[in-house]
Amino acid sequence: MDIDQTLLQNLTETNPRFRMLYEEHSLFEKQLSEYDKKGILSSDEEVDKNKVKKMKLAGRDEMEKIIQLVTT
């Protein structure tokens, strides 16, 4: 997601929902990075990795909706 850093900072400071989504997004990125470092994953880890990807995507979509609302 490419957004202006000033807008990002403003939203994280003034919009609690956006801040929560942004923090979750960062956490999901970290989790996915850990899975990527492992290389070979068990089937349970693969399932969990896919869930994390879906939650990250859903959060990003909601953040984009918030951004559209404040920039239009």
User: Could you state, in order of their start, the residue ranges of all structural domains in the chain?
Assistant: 5-71
* 72: confidence class by pLDDT, cuts 50, 70, 90: confident
What was the pLDDT predicted at 39? 86
Question: Which of 4, 5, 18, 14 lies closest to 59 in space, CA to CA?
Answer: 18
User: How large is the average pLDDT for residues 25-42?
Assistant: 96
Q: Does residue 13 surpass a pLDDT of 90?
A: yes
Q: Does residue 2 surpass a pLDDT of 80?
A: no
Q: Does residue 1 surpass a pLDDT of 60?
A: no
The first and second tokens of residue 47, run together, are 């399932």
